[in-house]
Chain A
Amino acid sequence: MSSHRITRNLPREFGIGIAFILEFILFSLLSPYFFTPDNLLNVSLQASITAIIAAGMTFVILTGGIDLSVGSLLAFAGIVATTVLKTSLPPVTGFILAILAGLAVGSLSGAFAGFCITRFNIAPFIVTLATMTIWRGAAFVWTDGRPVWELPAGFAFLGTGRLLAVPVPTIIMVLTFVASHIILTRTRFGRYVYAVGGNIEAARLAGIRTWRVLVNVYVLSATLAALSGILLASRMNSGQPNAGVSYELDVIAAVVVGGTSLSGGAGSIVGTFIGAMLIAVLRNGLNLLNVNSYVQQVIVGVVILLAVMLDQIRRHRR
């Protein structure tokens, strides 16, 4: 009997949380500029695009899936939104329609991926690898490879504006994480996400409509990718068909560093938030210390590996 061990007396985010704090202290000591409101808000702004997507990706990975299409969708949704903006609609209506169109593209794409995964029983990796290529291609076809320029004034506010000194994307990111955390920990849908990732057949036999849960996580992930796409387009004040290339990897890294298991069933939104921030702070700190950008890549890779190793060691201690 290997029973009765009381596991998880510490929250699973404990280890990564400590690492994050240490990192914070380290950079504060090394760079006088690091621990200033300006810089920290700047970090949050830089982190916001991938972090928002990572919130959605956490749901997907918790079910044992993966969504590789988020980077492409980000670009495609940005292009759809900016294209709608350029039609001669009245300002406010156009603005709202553009955002809705961008988000709708995300939701539909997610629903399509979820449909393929559940109805035809294809591995999520394959389905989203395909949609990744499809949406990237569609973004180039739509724009003929050229950015969508000359957007109406005011649109840039979403990506570059500030409310009480806090960047708008940072606010949206925080709202996204609070909402995601509540959904995951307090609603039936959230509970079902863990159940499906833990044991999909047992979940089905407990009366959970597993296909619905799966479709919903892909819709959620894709919609948040589209939201990020709109924010990025606003920040660049243009729709770029090559935006967000390889973002899916940054996003997955944030989720995994945050302690969510790639095999599903275990992880949290809080972890993902810390994971995303840890990587963003690392990049920022290295920049402040004038570390060469090639060296930075090496360091970021090593830190991702270390974070996951520490987590494994902690969990498999007997």
Chain B
Amino acid sequence: MAPLLEMRGITKSYPGVLALSGVDFTLQAGEVNCLVGENGAGKSTLIKVLSGAVMKEGGTISVGGEDARLGSPADAQHLGIGVIYQDFKLVPALSVAENILLGCEPVRRRTPIIDRNAMREKASAALGQLGEVINTGTPVGQLSVAQQQMVEIAKALSRSVRILAMDEPTAPLTERETQALFRVIRSLKERGVGIIYISHRLEEIFEVGDRVTVLRDGTLVHTCGIREIDRRGLIRKMVGRELENEYPRAALERGKEILRIENLSSDRVSNVNLTLYRGEVLGLAGLVGAGRSELARLVFGADRRTGGRIFLDGREIAPESPHQAIREGIGLLTEDRNRYGLIMQMSIRENISLANLRAMLTGPFIDPRKEETAAKQLTDDLRIKAPGTGVIVETLSGGNRQKVVLARWLNTKARVLIFDEPTAGIDVGVKYEIYTLINRLAEQGVGVIVISSDLPELLGICHRVAVMCEGHLTGVVEGAEATQETVMTYAHRDRR
């Protein structure tokens, strides 16, 4: 039997770079084929070719044994190809039903008037297939991220997809929601849908995948059944070399206290007490919504404090805005670099200098040489891959974008740096570089706090892990005692 999808010798180039070079990819009905590789390996481009969003320059695609012409997203939809992107393509103000049937609304016979009842029924049916109960009249903007994702999947199902590509679907999900998604994936498999699954979380690939396909620098490196390879082997294929240790850890030289918070509170954080020492990497664990990012934003002056005190080097500070916090020497690498970190239309150089333009001045003017020197040094240091510092950040891959944000904060010479999900959506190779950098900062005496939902990562690189649950700090675990179990116990403990 012909495979459900067969892509042969796919080639695509962008000015200055060969994004895909003769890539083969096959997908059987009822199979989950995981597509892995570092940022910039060509995964997204391959999906875009499949979805008709970009035109391939060479190669052939056949769907169900027949040659497929993919000239536009409409062609792809017609062939039963559905794609769920990282950033959902939903209209927040429209209801669940309206989103699911967007573009193919049922109408009353021989009129242009939308049949609202039929619409509700169709939408409920699509959601029902997923075992989801969501009120179809609710505006999508009011749903949780996980529910929005279910709406995306239901939207694809209502168009009878045969091939469903998912790009980092679990990035915004909690553990429980992830499990629910996996159940959906399994039931789609049973119905013969072929699934292309992209994720940087390798444990998920081993849990849900049947096959794995590795891309590196736009070429196919390896494809095999999931049972035929282990984690270490997979990383080696992706990175192209052996990583000695997935999580490097800095030698702990705990110095003097650098940051102390006492009874810090806001509407999302209750009475948190925590001390950070020079030279240590402190982890902040907890479930999504436990108040970790909110705590970081309080220390950074980004949100309103309702009580409590903050001491930096023993001196009380009261940052009312990020501007003040930065002047005191605190930096925050926010979660979601695209939304809260980068100015997309600006160059690498301009993004790097943004938080510390003061240092780039000569008189009242920005000195292009000072700015270029600083940016050049940091891009070299962090190995940001770009032809120059004048490149617009929008054109960079996720890992390089994260490095640009990192460079910005290194440029401020902050004494306390808080990293909020620094490795989300980033490949193994760049993750390793970021860990190394965090360690180097700690060794230089910077106080480092790392927030992450990736528990093995936190346990791997942090000397202590503080755990939050529902706005409270529920426990602090010393490195030696820190295990997934102890941390999760604290993460689920409700103190109220």
A contact set with B: CB distance below 8 Å: 1-8, 182, 186-188, 191-192, 194-195, 198-199, 201-209, 265-266, 318
Contacts and interface: CB of A to CB of B under 8 A. Distances in A.
A6 B387 contact: yes
Contacts of B302: 204-205
B7 to A, nearest CB: 17
B386 interface: yes
Interface in B407-462: 408
At the interface, is chain A mostly helix, strand, loop or mixed? loop
Interface of B: 14-17, 19, 39-45, 48, 54, 300, 302, 321-323, 325-327, 332, 334, 339-346, 350, 354-355, 357-358, 361, 364-366, 385-387, 391-392, 394-397, 400, 408
B371 to A, nearest CB: 10
Given A7-B392, A202-B343, A266-B345, A1 B40 contact: yes
A187 B371 CA distance: 12
Contact of B15 (A5, A195, A201, A206): A5
Contacts of A188: 357-358, 361, 366
B15 A6 contact: yes
B357 A191 contact: yes
B41 A195 contact: no
Contacts of A6: 15-16, 387, 391, 395
Contacts of A5: 14-17, 395
Contacts of A2: 14, 19, 44-45, 48, 54, 395
Contacts of B325: 207
A194 to B, nearest CB: 7
Contacts, number: 118
Nearest to B39: A1
Contacts of A204: 302, 321-322
The 9 nearest A-B residue pairs measured at CB: A198-B343, A207-B326, A4-B17, A186-B365, A206-B355, A3-B397, A206-B354, A207-B323, A188-B357
A194 B395 contact: no
Given A1-B40, A4-B16, A209-B321, A194 B45 contact: no
A202 B357 contact: no
- Most chain-A CB neighbours within 10 Å: which of B321, B354, B392, B397? B354
B322 A1 contact: no
B19 A1 contact: yes
Given A2-B44, A208-B323, A195 B334 contact: no
B43 to A, nearest CB: 7
Contact of B341 (A7, A205, A209, A318): A205
Given A191-B357, A195-B346, A1 B323 contact: no
Contacts of B357: 188, 191-192
Contacts of A203: 343, 354
Contacts of A266: 345
Contacts of A1: 19, 39-45, 397
Given A201-B340, A206-B322, A318 B54 contact: yes
B392 A8 contact: yes
Nearest to A7: B392
B386 A4 contact: yes
Contacts of A207: 322-323, 325-327, 354-355
A119 to B, nearest CB: 15
Nearest to A203: B343
6 contacts: A2-B44, A4-B385, A5-B16, A195-B350, A202-B340, A206-B408
A2 B343 CA distance: 18
B48 A199 contact: no
Contact of B343 (A7, A182, A209, A265): A265
Contacts of B358: 188
Contacts of A8: 392
A6 B327 CA distance: 35
A266 B44 CA distance: 27
A114 B149 CA distance: 39
- Most chain-A CB neighbours within 10 Å: which of B41, B322, B400? B322
A40 B146 CA distance: 63
Contacts of B361: 188
A198 B344 contact: yes
A245 B123 CA distance: 52
Contacts of A192: 357
Contacts of B340: 201-202, 205
A186 B366 contact: yes
B366 A205 contact: no
A194 B343 contact: yes
B354 A195 contact: yes
Contact of A199 (B54, B342, B364): B342
Given A4-B387, A198-B345, A198-B346, 15 more contacts: A1-B44, A1-B397, A2-B48, A5-B395, A7-B392, A187-B366, A191-B366, A195-B350, A202-B341, A203-B354, A204-B321, A207-B322, A207-B325, A265-B343, A266-B345
Nearest to A266: B345
Nearest to B40: A1
Contacts of A198: 343-346
Contacts of B16: 4-6
B492 to A, nearest CB: 30
Contact of A265 (B42, B44, B345): B345
